[in-house]
C-alpha cells in the first residue's frame, strides 16, 4: 500500500514537472514532414523500458525487458516478421505448405549473411529453431512443433512439421525465431544477420551500427543507441530535454504531457495492448454465462478508454486479436444495457448482497486504473467489486488463471488464431478463464486446417462469434502504444506490439 501510494505520488510529481515545463507549447505539434526523399545518416537515441536485474541477452531466452527485445531485433532476424497485413518475409523470403498444411517449407533470403561475413545456411536456421524449441519456453513459442520436426532441405531451405494442420504457421514464426550461427554456445553478442551490428552492450544499454550488407537493403540510420529506463517519468524527462530522440512505448500519461509541445511528436500505434477483465468460467460466481453477459453489458466502455487510457485506445468488442486483418468489424458492438444486465443477474440468481474481489496489478500502464473504473461502473448494476492490487510476481503466481475475476493484459493482438492458441482453446497454454468450448475448438481447427481463404474466413468468423457470445473475456478496450519522439525522427514504426522494433526505414531529417 505504502509503495503504491509512493509510486502514485511520484507519477503525480513527474506529471506536474512536465506540465510546469510546458512553457513552449505550440499549436502545431506532430511530425515536421520535410521535403525531399529520406536521408541517410545520424544516430537515433532510443529510450526503452528495462530493469537491471532482468537483462537477458540470449535471443532464445525469456525477454521481459523491452530494451532487450529491441536490441535483439536490431541485431538478429526472425524468419518472418509482423507486417501491416499479417506476416511479412524476413530471413525466410518465401514459404509453401504441403496440401495437408502439416509441413511447411521455408526458403532463405538471397544474399543473407551473418555480421562476420559468412552466409546463412539451412543448418543455422535448423540449429536456431531447435535451440528455441528446447528453451524453457519453447513449447509455447513453437506450439505443435517438435525438435525432430525441424530439418534442413538442401542448403537454402528448411522444413518445419506441425503436429496438426496449421495454415498460420508463418504467424507462429514471426516473433522470437532469431537466427544465430550453427553451433553457437555463447549467445551473448553472437553474430546476427539483422539490419544493425552490435558495437557494444553494457548492462542493458547498447550501441548498434548500420549493417551495409543487409539483404533487404541497408538501413538509413548510421547508428542506434538504446538507453534503458525503468520508469516512464524519467524517460519522458529525457525526451523533453533532448537527451533521447525517441521514448519508445512510454505510455499514455507521457503522451498527454508531450502532446502539442513544439519540437515533439506523439505517435499512436493502435491495438498495442488488450486489457481484458477475465471471468472464470469453470466454477465460482461467474460460471453462469448470464452473469458474464450481464457484466459485459454494464460498463461504459468509451468512458473507460477516455479515463483509464487518457483516450489513447479503442473500445473493444470482447474479441481478442483486434489487429488481425480478418477481425470481425461487422459484429454488432456490445454497449451498455443496464436493464438487460439487471434482468440477467436476477435470472441467474447472482448474489448482489456481497462484494467480490477484482484482482489487478500495475504491470502495464492504465491497468490498475481500469480495474478501479470497472469496479465503479459495475455499481450501476448493483454489483460491488473490491479492487485488490497485487505486485507482478504475486499476481502471476496466485491470481492469473486462478482468481474468479481479474484484469489481464495481452501485448500480441495481430492474430486471432494466435490469441486462440495462447488463451482460448481448451488446450491453450495459458487458459486464463479456464474456458473450454468444443464448438470454439472445432471452429479453430477448421480455420487452421484449410488453405481455402473463404473457408478460413468463415471459420474465423465463427470463432469470433462464439468468443463474443460466451467466453470468459470482457474486452472493454485496447490501449494504443504511445511513443514520444523529436519531430526530426521520420518514418517510425506504426505497428503494435513487437512491430515497434522495426527501425530499418526510420531516418532523421535534422
Where on the chain is the footprint of other proteins (CB under 8 A)?
6, 9-10, 13-14, 16-17, 20-21, 23, 45, 51-56, 61-62, 64, 136-137, 139-140, 200, 202-203, 205, 207, 227, 229-231, 233-235, 237-238, 240-241, 243-244, 390-398, 400, 422-423, 429-430
CB closer to other proteins out of 128 and 390? 390
Angle 222-224-225 (CA atoms, 0-180°, nearest 5)?
135
Decide: residue 304, CB within 10 A, 0-12 exposed, 13-18 middle, 19+ buried: buried
Neighbours of 438 (CB within 10 A): 8
- The nearest distance, CB 417 to other proteins, in angstroms, is 15
- Residue 176 or 265: which CB sits closer to other proteins? 176
Minimum CB–partner distance for residue 156 and other proteins (Å): 32
Q: Write down the least CB distance from residue 438 to other proteins, Å.
A: 21
- Give min distance, CB of 54 to other proteins, in A: 6
Instruction: Using the minimum distance from each CB to other proteins, give the nearer residue, 4 or 333.
Output: 4
**Structural element, H or E, at residue 8:** helix 2-20
User: DSSP secondary-structure letter at 36?
Assistant: S
Provide CB contacts within 8 A for 132, sequence distance 6+. Answer: 60, 138, 141, 142, 176, 177, 178
Between 204 and 299, whose beta carbon lies closer to other proteins?
Answer: 204
Work out how close the CB of 204 gets to other proteins at its nearest, in angstroms, rounded to a whole number: 8
* Grid coordinates belonging to 437: 468450448
Q: Are 89 and 243 in contact (CB under 8 A)?
A: no
Closest separation in Å from C-beta 391 to other proteins: 7
What is the separation, in whole angstroms, between the first and last Cα of the chain? 46
- In the complex with other proteins, the residue whose CB is nearer, 112 or 238, is 238
Say if residue 237 is exposed, middle or buried (CB neighbours under 10 Å; 0-12, 13-18, 19+).
Answer: buried
Residue 36: C-alpha distances to residues 10, 42, 310 (Å): 43, 17, 35
Pick between residue 234 and residue 451 the one whose CB is nearest to other proteins: 234
Least distance to other proteins from the beta carbon of 245, Å? 12
258, 266 in Cβ contact below 8 A?
A: yes
Nearer to other proteins, 48 or 381 (CB): 48
Amino acid at each position: 500500500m505504502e509503495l503504491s501510494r509512493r509510486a502514485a505520488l511520484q507519477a503525480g510529481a513527474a506529471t506536474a514537472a512536465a506540465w510546469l515545463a510546458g512553457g513552449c507549447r505550440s499549436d502545431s505539434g506532430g511530425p515536421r514532414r520535410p521535403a525531399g526523399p529520406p536521408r541517410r545518416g545520424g544516430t537515433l537515441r532510443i529510450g526503452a523500458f528495462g530493469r537491471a536485474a532482468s537483462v537477458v541477452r540470449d535471443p532464445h531466452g525469456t525477454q521481459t525487458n523491452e530494451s532487450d527485445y529491441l536490441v535483439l531485433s536490431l541485431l538478429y532476424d526472425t524468419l518472418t516478421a509482423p507486417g501491416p497485413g499479417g506476416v511479412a518475409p524476413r530471413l525466410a523470403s518465401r514459404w509453401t505448405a504441403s496440401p495437408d498444411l502439416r509441413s511447411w517449407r521455408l526458403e532463405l533470403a538471397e544474399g543473407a549473411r551473418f555480421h562476420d561475413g559468412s552466409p546463412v545456411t539451412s543448418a543455422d536456421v535448423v540449429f536456431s529453431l531447435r535451440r528455441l524449441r528446447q528453451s524453457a519456453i519453447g513449447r509455447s513459442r513453437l506450439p505443435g512443433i517438435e525438435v525432430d520436426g525441424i530439418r534442413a532441405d538442401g542448403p537454402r531451405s528448411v522444413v518445419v512439421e506441425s503436429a496438426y494442420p496449421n495454415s498460420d504457421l508463418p504467424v507462429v514464426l514471426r516473433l522470437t525465431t532469431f537466427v544465430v550461427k550453427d553451433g553457437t554456445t555463447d549467445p551473448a553478442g553472437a553474430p546476427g544477420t539483422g539490419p544493425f551490428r552490435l558495437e557494444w552492450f553494457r548492462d542493458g544499454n547498447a550501441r548498434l551500427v548500420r549493417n551495409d550488407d543487409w539483404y533487404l537493403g541497408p538501413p538509413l540510420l548510421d547508428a542506434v543507441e538504446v538507453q534503458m529506463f525503468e520508469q516512464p517519468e524519467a524517460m519522458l524527462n529525457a525526451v523533453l530535454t533532448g537527451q533521447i530522440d525517441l521514448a519508445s512505448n512510454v505510455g499514455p500519461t507521457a503522451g498527454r504531457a508531450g502532446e502539442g509541445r513544439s519540437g515533439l511528436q506523439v505517435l499512436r500505434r493502435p491495438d498495442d495492448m488488450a486489457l481484458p477483465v477475465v471471468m472464470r468460467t469453470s466454477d465460482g460466481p461467474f460460471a453462469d454465462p448470464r452473469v458474464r453477459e450481464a457484466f459485459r453489458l454494464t460498463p461504459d466502455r468509451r468512458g473507460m478508454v477516455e479515463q483509464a487510457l487518457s483516450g489513447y485506445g479503442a473500445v473493444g468488442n470482447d474479441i481478442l486479436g483486434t489487429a488481425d486483418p480478418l477481425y470481425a468489424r461487422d459484429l454488432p458492438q456490445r454497449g451498455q444495457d443496464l436493464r438487460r444486465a439487471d434482468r440477467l443477474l436476477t435470472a441467474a440468481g447472482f448474489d448482489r448482497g456481497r462484494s467480490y474481489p477484482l484482482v489487478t496489478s500495475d504491470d502495464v500502464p492504465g491497468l490498475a486504473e481500469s480495474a478501479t473504473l470497472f469496479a465503479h461502473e459495475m455499481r450501476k448494476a448493483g454489483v460491488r467489486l473490491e479492487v485488490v492490487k497485487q505486485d507482478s510476481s504475486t499476481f502471476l503466481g496466485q491470481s492469473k488463471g486462478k482468481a474468479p475475476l481479474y484484469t489481464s493484459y495481452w501485448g500480441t493482438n495481430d492474430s486471432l488464431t494466435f490469441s486462440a492458441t495462447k488463451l482460448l482453446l481448451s488446450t491453450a497454454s495459458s487458459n486464463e478463464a479456464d474456458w473450454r468450448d468444443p464448438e470454439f475448438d472445432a471452429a479453430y481447427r477448421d480455420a487452421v486446417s484449410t488453405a481455402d481463404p473463404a473457408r478460413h474466413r468463415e471459420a474465423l468468423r465463427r470463432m469470433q462469434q462464439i468468443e463474443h457470445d460466451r467466453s470468459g473475456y470482457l474486452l472493454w478496450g485496447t490501449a494504443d502504444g504511445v511513443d514520444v519522439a523529436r519531430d526530426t525522427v521520420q518514418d517510425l514504426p506504426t505497428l503494435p506490439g513487437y512491430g515497434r522494433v522495426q527501425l530499418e526505414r526510420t531516418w532523421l531529417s535534422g
